[in-house]
Amino acid sequence: MPMSTLSVPNISLMALDDLSDISCISVPLKGLFMRAYVIGNVTIDETIAVSEMPAAGASVLGRQRSRDLGGKGANQAVIMARCGLPTTLVAAIGEGFRADAIREHLAEEPVVNHLIALPGRSTDFSVVLTTPDGENLNVTTTDAAQNLPLAEAVAGLADAGPGDLAVLQGNLTDETTRGVLEAASSRGMITVFNPSPLRSFFCGLWPFIDIAFLNEGEALALTGTSGEEACRRLLATGVREVVLTFGGNGAMLASGDAMIRVPSVPCTVVDTTGAGDTFMAVALASAALRGSRLDRTAIEHAARAAAITVSRPGTRSAFPTRSQLAAIFAVG
């Protein structure tokens, strides 16, 4: 299949203040200018601040910090669209007041919405616990996401073509996830997958995935090892690029025989919810909008955007605004 190259960043999920030491490597992909199709979940996030994460069986006091649009699929789609990259969100919603709230939130964003309404199903929501040091614990329901029909999901790709992005996460069923990846690959799309939340069927998906983003816990669960060896095992399955993140200890990018380790730069963190979604979405959008490979500029743009996200609480409300993203893109 004809290939052009796009360079994927040495990604850290921590917000970075200084990227002077970051480099990039070239990634074989199937197109240059892209549109993004995010096939995933959409939720209403209820964020509760607690003094510390509760132990099993414990009861703790908390206070509600925000009620916001969320879900990894919606997060990535909203951020890419705010960047100015044409973006379609393909997601299922159920019934009730949360479905109405999702429609209202998304109507305020420049994303194209392909929402599949499922009568008799509950709209998905998340309960996010955050601690004073910015760490979070997220529990998400999947009644809508798990019942997104494959045919409806693939229909959302009707106008997609070679070089467009197909971005998926771990919230859909095996059948739908696999079917969408196969459909995207057959169209020459670039497939991007984040195996979160972890599911038992992920190991059979790697041959359909161009780029995988995962943290060290996910890598250990899926490969039985960590670090460079985890990357090698995933590359051996057919994944072209592996981005392995270590939180405050940086990230590793693996491509073929290249392994690059990138440290994180410390910063003030209020809430890490959505930081990884922000970083990935802005990096990809920056490169696509410049008709460029993912390069140092894309990484700098992404890190500046992620720094905004982690500096304030919430989900969508914490993401950079369109004007902030425009200002970021105007530099370098």
Tell me if 57 is assigned to a ligand binding site: no
Are 315 and 70 in contact by the 8 Å Cβ rule? The answer is: yes
* DSSP code of residue 27: E
Tell me if 72 is assigned to a ligand binding site: yes
Tell me if 153 is assigned to a ligand binding site: no
SS3 243: strand
Tell me if 159 is assigned to a ligand binding site: no
> Helix and strand tally (H, E) in the chain?
9, 15
Catalytic positions are 277
Q: How far is CA 165 from the centre of its chain?
A: 12
Tell me if 215 is assigned to a ligand binding site: yes
Tell me if 43 is assigned to a ligand binding site: yes
Tell me if 71 is assigned to a ligand binding site: yes
Please give the Cα distance from 312 to 57 (Å, whole number): 30
Tell me if 245 is assigned to a ligand binding site: yes
Tell me if 273 is assigned to a ligand binding site: yes
Are 125 and 71 in contact by the 8 Å Cβ rule? The answer is: no
Tell me if 246 is assigned to a ligand binding site: yes
Closest Cα to residue 10, out of 263, 218, 257, 268?
263
SS3 46: strand
Concatenate the DSSP letters of all residues of 185-235 into one string.
HHTTPEEEE---S--GGGGGTGGG-SEEEEEHHHHHHHHSS-HHHHHHHHH
Tell me if 314 is assigned to a ligand binding site: yes
Tell me if 147 is assigned to a ligand binding site: no
Known binding residues are: 43-45, 71-75, 215, 245-250, 271, 273, 276-277, 309, 312, 314
Known binding residues for ATP are: 215, 245-250, 276-277
Known binding residues for substrate are: 43-45, 71-75, 277
Known binding residues for K(+) are: 271, 273, 309, 312, 314
